[in-house]
Structure 1
């Protein structure tokens, strides 16, 4: 039954254990309380875990723990009156205090937070020092562009999220989990607060799903993606659940991505032969399938093995955790002697297939992570990987499916040639601390002509 498999998949997304992460947060809190509140060594006072973890909508592949530490109010005047960038000075001072606890751990100021990198966890704690406002919100430092104070209001968002999880019998959380799994598999940036806000609004407009069971989830998914694809991609912001603070939508990428998903699932039923293939296209290769379908797939693979075809394809979600946080875009320069170079995406937009004997130079045109790798700590743990998959009868006949995920040699380029017909594709991944934080795919359709 599909309902059993969607339940199994959602269960696989849940965070099982936060003991080590909680331990680190408590240690940082205790150190900062000693530094800024005389006589205090509390592991809990003045600290809030915020972000997706605080709202309890994160999935187990999360990479960051967002922590808000509230400083004594009188310190704000000190840093506001500081000659130069007082916000940068505040971040550096908080960094120094945390280093007293972790002298060998990489700790750095990063625009608006202090980032503490824990190699043993393959996770980072982002410490946001803040000052409580009279309205219950907080001012936090932004050291960019000379420095300023920005407002954040996470506590009402946390309260509203937790209340909604309870009121909907966990459905709000589960739907937020599914959207994150889709975002990670598809490989595009979609902020956690925006995800939670849009799911919250979806449930406000579709109240019957607040009490949904897993038998309702196929129709729920259809209505969810119909809702997402119907948003205005040019809308600049939404008002966040709980706080009504503005959550910005820079590119509206999720709208066009949701449209493609809706077109795939609109006519699906639980009896559709391809339902699990479609679910894996949307949510990744870890989406479970019934035993009888898996057995049929194994028989098909055995038939390929009998034709001496090696099953070499690898899957990124089976090699690394995935938490897409940055934009990545790849392009391909198509070359052939005697012909003008063309960009592959331009050709695809015109509906043009590639012909054989072309030289293909794949390269990165946008990598948001590049803005971070000037820091030596990022350079140390930053890698690029590529995947080239050949599809079609000719790939099988030639025993040339490929699909291995291989590390980039340092040029951030991949050179290939068009050899035979098929609907092939190339993917690129940015890996940081064994977590895939950005990825992109480009289709490579090759004809015989």
Structure 2
């Protein structure tokens, strides 16, 4: 297969992955509407003499949680947020429960063209720009008093047992097991599925994610990994268009008859556009032909621009192309809210500091160094120490996140959450970046305390 991986990586990094600014904007809107919900519930309680409140911090779900949102979904974002209540504090009826959330949101969502609305499976807030936020309502309880974990039920047409973290955890686990390439394939497949305005009735992101995971083909090059995976998806759909819930194989993800049409559309469009890529396997395939083929597949201006550059054969093109190349790195970061219920509304505290050692001598304590704006250099030993008033027994988790260009170039952003059950953690300063370390205390299956300390390393 013609190697076009460098351009493929650039296309992915610059035109597929959602920029940080837009990601931040999504989470700002999510946080704003959670704030509106909490304030609305408080006002509702004061008026009605009730005591409705969230049992844990809201949980982002769907493509935003799995980080598979792409740039061509602009103004069509679907932000799913699970809100959880204690079972014995909610009405038994699902309609009444949804109406409580609608009424609470209406008290604070006053400038919307469309008021918050109760749907079958959620309460929806629609923005004028076209995207929407869905609040999926859950109730939780313990089947037995001694249980560490909760049982969750989703508020739909009736209460049905469902874990709000299950799908996200499934995807993140599968992505990790596939060396973090599954997310790349899903983003690219979604990019393809929305590449033509006339392409309506295509399967949703979850079905595409399940298919990509099921048919994943491991290759080091991104272009090969994507090509062989979507070819396998196409071949699979030729035989069977059924797709089941990966966390409950007894349930189909095809809920209505229209979903059958969507599956057929995906097969037909993959079958047609994959045929345009056959030139990639010709030994005489030129770079121009390869660019043209991928341009036909993705229907994106990036490939048109690459064709124009090649056809003009500018002397500066080679160096320009190198400057445009995207640094590919694995997105390894994990988030505590996708692993455990989060409840920071307790009396528990967590303090975090770090003893900095250089040349076998204590150079200072990191919190004090930060306040004094003292520089932290490479070549130091860091002894992190946590203190908490959470009564034992509990579990301790640590997260080390590297940030900055050097971390990306070295494919070393880290960010995995690791259970150590120790209040002490050791690291060394290696390279420049505004890094950070977080510590979490988990008790009875809930994260009850969290603390972060910045580790800003400068060049020596």
- TM-score normalised by L of structure 2: 0.53
The alpha carbon displacement at 1:266 in A equals 3.1
1:99 corresponds to which of 100, 106, 112: 106
Q: Paired residues, what number?
A: 278
Q: Residue 291 of structure 2 contacts residue 307 of structure 2 at CA under 8 Å; is this kept in 1? A: no
The alpha carbon displacement at 1:50 in A equals 0.4
What whole-Å deviation, never above 9, does each CA across 1:9-34 have from its counterpart, x for those lacking one? 11121122322322232233334445
Q: Residue 185 of structure 2 contacts residue 225 of structure 2 at CA under 8 Å; is this kept in 1? A: no
Match of 1:58 in 2: 69
Match of 1:240 in 2: 245
SS where residue 58 of structure 1 aligns?
A: coil
Closer, same or farther in 2 for the Cα pair 1:22/1:93, shift >3 Å? Answer: same
Match of 1:15 in 2: 18
**RMSD of the alignment, in Å?**
3.3
- TM-score normalised by L of structure 1: 0.54
User: What 5-or-longer segments of structure 1 have no aligned partner?
Assistant: 81-86, 300-449
Q: Residue 137 of structure 2 contacts residue 155 of structure 2 at CA under 8 Å; is this kept in 1? A: yes
Closer, same or farther in 2 for the Cα pair 1:167/1:70, shift >3 Å? Answer: same
The alpha carbon displacement at 1:103 in A equals 1.6
Match of 1:195 in 2: 208
2:170 corresponds to which of 160, 166, 186: 160
The alpha carbon displacement at 1:298 in A equals 11
SS where residue 190 of structure 1 aligns?
A: coil
User: What 5-or-longer segments of structure 2 have no aligned partner?
Assistant: 144-148, 315-460
Q: Residue 29 of structure 1 contacts residue 69 of structure 1 at CA under 8 Å; is this kept in 2? A: no
- CA–CA separation in structure 1 for the residues paired with 2:271 and 2:135: 37
Q: Residue 50 of structure 1 contacts residue 66 of structure 1 at CA under 8 Å; is this kept in 2? A: yes
Match of 1:296 in 2: 311
Q: Residue 30 of structure 1 contacts residue 41 of structure 1 at CA under 8 Å; is this kept in 2? A: no
1:278 corresponds to which of 293, 310, 335: 293
- CA–CA separation in structure 1 for the residues paired with 2:99 and 2:244: 32
Q: Residue 87 of structure 2 contacts residue 140 of structure 2 at CA under 8 Å; is this kept in 1? A: yes
Q: Residue 276 of structure 2 contacts residue 296 of structure 2 at CA under 8 Å; is this kept in 1? A: no
SS where residue 67 of structure 1 aligns?
A: strand
Closer, same or farther in 2 for the Cα pair 1:221/1:24, shift >3 Å? Answer: closer
Q: Residue 157 of structure 1 contacts residue 243 of structure 1 at CA under 8 Å; is this kept in 2? A: no
SS where residue 69 of structure 1 aligns?
A: strand
Matches of residues 39-438 of structure 1 in structure 2 within 5 Å?
A: 45-62=56-73, 63-76=77-90, 78-80=91-93, 87-105=94-112, 106=114, 107-119=116-128, 122-132=130-140, 138-142=152-156, 147-186=157-196, 187-188=199-200, 189-203=202-216, 206=217, 208-209=218-219, 212-214=220-222, 217=223, 219-232=224-237, 235=240, 237-242=242-247, 244=249, 246-248=252-254, 250-251=260-261, 252-253=263-264, 254-269=266-281, 271=286, 273-288=288-303, 291=306, 293-294=308-309, 296=311
Q: Residue 95 of structure 1 contacts residue 109 of structure 1 at CA under 8 Å; is this kept in 2? A: yes
Closer, same or farther in 2 for the Cα pair 1:137/1:64, shift >3 Å? Answer: farther
